[in-house]
Amino acid sequence: MMSLARTFVSACRLATAVRPAVLVLIAASLVAGCGVVARSVKDGYDNIANSDLFWHGRHGELDESEQLWIELAWTYVGNNTHPGTGLVGALDGYSSFTMTNLAEYLVALHAANEFELLKEKEFDERLSALLKFLNTMPLYDNALPNRVYHIETGNMVDFGAQPGAVGWSAIEIGRLLIWLNYYRRHYPRFAEYIDKAVLRWDFCRLIDDSGSLTGGRVVDGQLERYQEGRLGYEEYAAYGYYLWGFEPSQADQFEPYQSRRFYQVTLLADGRDPRVDGVYDPLLPTPYWYAGMEFNWDRWDDLESSDTSYSRLDMARQARNLYLIQERRWQRDKLYTARAEHVLSEAPFFVYDSVFGLGTPFATLDGDGNFHDDVALVSTKATFMMWSLFETEYTDKLMWITRHLYDPEKGWYEGRKELTGGYEQSVTLSTNAAVLQSLLYKRQGKLFKNPPPSSRLERLRGDEFYHPGRCQPATTPANLFIPSQNQP
């Protein structure tokens, strides 16, 4: 997550050197009597619908406006695909990307295919170019994906898009593993090439003996390994490793944590002290929204889906409370709230709009732990994900103040400024992929419903003469991969 922040900071600094940021600025009272009764009934329904017993998302076909929304989001991908490599940049007009961005491109490409925004041949060409990159890309120390790559060359670069190797992110690789596994299930004809790409990686460096995720960063020319991830993204990334047969048992636990309560809602925040390890701990809703859309807040191996049953109840309750606390901030303080990490068109260029961070509710932090509450956004990405996962009056209101935050030639903006109401006009792959994923969830519900296919990985796992010695999925005894009954 920190590598993504550094990439965006470098990108925005370069972008602002050639063009200035342009910012565009943009109460009904209830009547007594019957209005009060109607409001009480409506409030009672909302309270039940969002209780521990029952809460549900939006489901159904897209209407005319929603069809326009997905077309706008796909515009970003079309504009930012390099014609030579087929790779997509993280920020409009910028030339680098991370493993998180690669996962976001997979999200966007799958959604566009499902919505028939591109022809079958274009889908095949795009996915084939991406698989070629994954199977040929240079690896850090010939072992793992580097944190950043260049879309024009496919080579490793540093956070300033200059040639260089800067280490790896276990969290970002975790999200990529989720979506590569999804593709091998949904498009089993490509599973062989996906497996070959993943089998290039040395998982010994990603998970330690305790089941914690381990990142690597280059500091003053030396590699430093460290425990990576904080509450939320750590548990979400663990899904990716489970799907490929590993046991990230420590990363998957809500420990250590501290309990925080405000607006009469209890949240679990990370209990590790940033003064000890130098890793800041903003509590962000984003990974919980991803887990809801992709897994329905279920276990990684649970293919069932229900709006009233969750096999990862800890994830589901935390997600529900993260939603409620934002809704109640609006109800009580009249502040529209939809929190996520996001890009800015001016310094500090990238921030974490947290629900809780460094001991403070609704803190906006940069990568160094400095407060920037004046640049908080009502995030477009967060609005779409909350709107799809929670069908409530509040998410309807959020969508009404977000639905016009786009450039028809570029795609969706990052959001609306909390302080002034003006637009944050940066355009990113992350936000536009989230729009596509949210509307795909609306139409299809939980995404992980298909069993995995039999493929090359199965063959290698059963080969007693094949000993790669690199802690690869093929060396893991988990019995994950079973033949699919309906492979296209």
pLDDT number for residue 205:
96
- Cα(123)–Cα(126) distance, integer angstroms: 5
pLDDT number for residue 56:
82
| Residue 380 in domain | yes
Domain check: are 344 and 196 in the same one?
A: no
Residue 91 DSSP code: B
pLDDT number for residue 26:
22
Domain check: are 294 and 222 in the same one?
A: no
Per the structure, the count of domains in the chain is 2
pLDDT number for residue 275:
66
CA–CA distances in Å: residue 386 to residues 69, 362, 381: 16, 17, 9
Domain check: are 338 and 423 in the same one?
A: yes
Quote the domain boundaries for residue 351.
Answer: 254-448
Q: Quote the tokens at residue 385.
A: 């994900």
CATH no. for residue 439? 1.50.10.140
pLDDT number for residue 45:
39
Domain check: are 425 and 374 in the same one?
A: yes
Instruction: Evaluate whether 286 touches 382 at the Cβ level (below 8 Å).
Output: yes
**Count of helix runs (H) and strand runs (E) in the chain:** 15, 16
pLDDT per position as a tens digit, 260-300: 999 999 999 887 766 666 667 799 999 999 999 999 999 99
pLDDT per position as a tens digit, 364-407: 999 889 999 999 999 999 999 999 999 999 999 999 999 999 99
| Residue 55 in domain | no
pLDDT per position as a tens digit, 407-457: 999 999 999 999 999 999 999 999 999 999 999 999 999 999 999 887 666
Q: Quote the tokens at residue 50.
A: 């969002």
| Residue 479 in domain | no
pLDDT number for residue 309:
86
- Cα(255)–Cα(234) distance, integer angstroms: 10
- Cα(317)–Cα(52) distance, integer angstroms: 7
pTM value is: 0.86
| Residue 162 in domain | yes
Domain check: are 351 and 428 in the same one?
A: yes
Residue ranges, the chain, pLDDT below 70: 1-55, 273-279, 455-470, 474-488
Phi and psi dihedrals of 68, rounded to 5? -65, -40
Amino acid at 450: N
Residue 455: partners with Cβ closer than 8 Å, 6 or more residues away: 184, 188, 191, 192, 195, 481
